[in-house]
Structures are given as C-alpha cells and as structure tokens.
Chains A and B, each alone.
Chain A
Amino acid sequence: MTDRFVSRGFVGRAREAGDGAGRVPPGQYLTEGFPVLSAGPTPQVPLDSWEFTITGLVKAPMRWSWQEFTALPSRDWLVDISCVTKWTKLDTSWHGVSLDDLLGAVEIEPRARFVTAHSYGGYTTNLPLTDLLNNQAFVAWQYDGSPLEPAHGGPARLVVPHLYLWKSAKWVRGLQLREEDEPGFWESLGYHNRGDPWREERYSGD
C-alpha cells in the first residue's frame, strides 16, 4: 500500500467512546431516524388475503393465513440494522416469529442450501439457508410496539439483521428453498450476493 489518502481539512464527527463503539460497521454512520428506501411503490396488502408460504425443496409446502401466522410462537427482538446506503440504527425493536420456528414447520430436503425470499410487489432476495437459522432471522409484524407500517415493509417483513437491510425483504410473502443460489432483485443489479456489513460487502466484487 502507498500512503493512505487523507481528505484535506476533513475532521469528521467527534468520536466518543460509547457512541455505538464496536457496533457500527465500517463506512456506516449512526442515525436516529428510520429512513425508507425501496425501488417502487409500496404494495398495499389486505390482511384477509395475506398469506405466507414455504415452498421449493420441502416435503410438503406450508401456508399460513394472517391469523395463523400471528398466532405462531413469537417474541420481541432488539437488533442493530445497517443499510447499504450507509446508515446504521442501533437497538431497533421488533416483534415476530423466528425463522427457526417457520422452517421447523416443514421438512427441508437435504439438498436445499439456499432460500429466495419473495415479496408482495415482486421483490426478491437470496440468502444461504445458514444465514437464516439459529435465531439469526425473523419475520416481524410489529416495530416499536406498533403494527409495521407499509412503508417499512408491513404487514410483515423478513429481518436478517446481520446482513445489509436489502436482505430483510419488505412485504415478504414466502420463502422458496433451492439447491442452487439464484441472485435476487438487487443482487442482479450490481449489489453484493451476500451483503455482510462487517466485511463491507456492498457491491459485486467487494
């Protein structure tokens, strides 16, 4: 490496101990707000026609109505989230069901290694199955004690807090188990296939 580039006259914000120290991934900044980013209009999904499915490489597909889904064992989740657009928000509070419980309700075929999350409105994102297990991910229908707003992904949103937030599919309607990895929406448009904020996996090739 040559000498590190320094931006003339740039000081940056005060770096205080406790200012989320150790919890803000590289290149991210802390925000108190909750910015909204999405590629198209917010789908409006009536609860009486909402459903959540698990399909693909499973012995028998599974389907839940809104009533059935929100009656599943659920809990509160307190997690830090990071968006590839550079903001990180600490201690966000959600309520929902663990992916372990959802995936535990089906018999997964051994050759299944990847998952495509499908959303109302057509959005997709792909994840290795291992990123969804061991209480690393959940489907939430409440944020901060209130029903999840449509702009933030309601009625229900996949949340995978250890990956950039585009993996946390808004308006999620199902999971499809697959043997081969298949790039989702942003993953086909130049964004990284996995999206680990701690490795700064923002764009293809990072």
Chain B
Amino acid sequence: MPEPLAWQISTVTAIRVETAEVTSFTLELPSWRPHRAGQHYDVRLTAADGYQAQRSYSIASPPSRSGEVDLTIEKIADGEVSPYFHDTVAVGDKVEVRGPIGGYFVWEPAFGGPLLLVAGGSGVVPLMAMLRERASADPRPPAVLLYSSRNFDDVIYRDELAALAAADTGLRVIQTLTRSQPAGWTGYDRRIDRPMLSEAIAAAGPAPLVYICGPTLLVEAAANGLVELGVPPAQVRTERFGPTS
C-alpha cells in the first residue's frame, strides 16, 4: 500500500497581501516534503463542534524553499474557507493541511521547455511556482506567461513578475486587462483571443509545454485556440476552476 498522505498541523509564519482579494500565507510544515511546481495542498478547517470544511489551494512557492510553502488564496465573498483565511488567520495560527497533491499539472526543470503559461486571475498561482522554480534553474528554458486580469490592481505578483522579466531575456510576460486599464497601459485590453495566443506561441518557440490555469471559459478558449493553432493536445495541460470558496 502506498503511504497515506497524512494531515499535519502547520504554523502560519508570514502573511503577505497581494491584491485587495488575494493574500499569500506562508505555512511552516512539521513534515515537509518537496513538491513539484503546480501541485496543491488540501486545507481542512475544524469548528469547535467538529464540523469540517476542506478546500485545495495551489502552492505558489518553489520547492527549493524547504520546510515551508506559500499558499496564495483568493477571497470568495460567499465562501467558507477563503474568508476564514482572509478575515481570521493571523501569524502564529495553526492550520491543518496535507500535501503536496497532484501529479499531472506539474513542471520541473528536467522537463525542459519552452514553457507557455496561460493564466486567468488567481490561476496564475501554480504557474508562478513554475516561474519561481525556473528562475533558479540551470539551464533556464525560454518561457512566456500570457496573463489575463480584470484591472491593474488585480494583477497578482505584479512587481515580482516585472522584476523577473526585466532581469531575464528568456522570460516574456504578456498581459491583458479585461475590465479597465491605467493611463499609458501598453498591454492588451480584451479577453485572451487568437492573436494573443499566436503571439505567445511565436514568443515561446517551437513545441512548447503548455500549462493553462484559470476560470473554465478562459481555459476552454485558450486550450482550444492553441490546439487550433497547431499545438498538439498532449502538450497542453489544464487546471480549471470555478471559484474555490
């Protein structure tokens, strides 16, 4: 029998606000196991009367940070677990988790590249783990991130992405803001479409490994579009979500 993936009690050691709706939580794990970029942890909350709620959250940190993981969590207004994290959890709190989980939507440096990453909203989280791991990989495969957000202030990891791209000619970040754009915005201003996907393919180079994560409609449009543009379906890995409450 395979060894069960045991629940463990982690400790929140840092909290970083990413955007108005999105916050990252650093969890220190007593039984840390190295993860692969793209994997997630399950979180289980228990009320005093024994009631429990579970959700899955993508790991944002690279596996090189041993002993801890960052989970980046979007607050869903009518949710149950994400509001608890945003409104109640403080540094020093204990959170029950198990992981890492997921063996398909993963990337490790040995897979090589080029990488073509497509994100919508908080779907960028598992892709950020890939970019963070790639940043310290040697060699570093070329990578393109095509990232759709609603507004400028909703762009998760905005400064870090800008810094990564500025320091690395092998990384191209193509952004679109679908709802509003600040003055002087030079990115796209509409939903991800065929011209953007063509540009991303051209920038990535031949035979890219594709990872797409975001809301269902975005993932469907991007995956179908890339396949129609000639990317083999077997090269396209998707992670789809409605909001995880």
A residues with CB within 8 A of B: 4-13, 15, 26-29, 31, 33, 35-44, 85-86, 121-122, 151, 185-186, 188-190, 202-206
Contacts and interface: CB of A to CB of B under 8 A. Distances in A.
B223 A42 contact: yes
B182 interface: no
B214 to A, nearest CB: 12
Contact of A40 (B5, B103, B237): B237
Contact of B54 (A27, A122, A190): A27
Given A40-B223, A43-B233, A121-B233, A7 B241 contact: no
A35 B240 CA distance: 8
Given A10-B45, A36-B242, A86-B56, 19 more contacts: A4-B46, A6-B48, A7-B46, A12-B52, A13-B53, A27-B44, A27-B54, A29-B53, A36-B219, A38-B238, A40-B223, A40-B234, A40-B237, A41-B223, A85-B56, A121-B233, A189-B104, A190-B102, A205-B4
A140 to B, nearest CB: 20
7 contacts: A7-B47, A9-B84, A36-B240, A41-B236, A121-B233, A188-B103, A204-B2
A151 B220 contact: yes
Interface residues of B, number: 48
B101 interface: yes
Interface of B: 1-5, 9, 42, 44-48, 50-56, 80, 84, 88, 93-96, 101-105, 216, 219-220, 223-224, 226-227, 233-234, 236-242, 245
Contacts of A185: 104
B51 A7 contact: no
A5 B9 contact: yes
A122 B88 CA distance: 44
B241 A39 contact: no
B94 A10 contact: no
Contacts of A6: 46-48
A31 B243 CA distance: 11
Contacts of A190: 101-103
A86 B54 contact: yes
Interchain residue pairs A-B with the least CB separation, the first 10: A189-B103, A205-B4, A41-B223, A204-B2, A205-B2, A27-B54, A7-B45, A35-B242, A9-B88, A36-B216
A10 B46 contact: yes
B75 to A, nearest CB: 15
A6 to B, nearest CB: 5
Contact of B84 (A10, A26, A38, A40): A10
Given A13-B80, A42-B224, A85-B56, A5 B96 contact: yes
Contacts of B239: 37
A5 B50 CA distance: 9
Nearest to A204: B2
Most chain B C-beta atoms within 10 Å of own C-beta, residue among A4, A37, A186? A37
Most chain B C-beta atoms within 10 Å of own C-beta, residue among A9, A15, A44, A189? A9
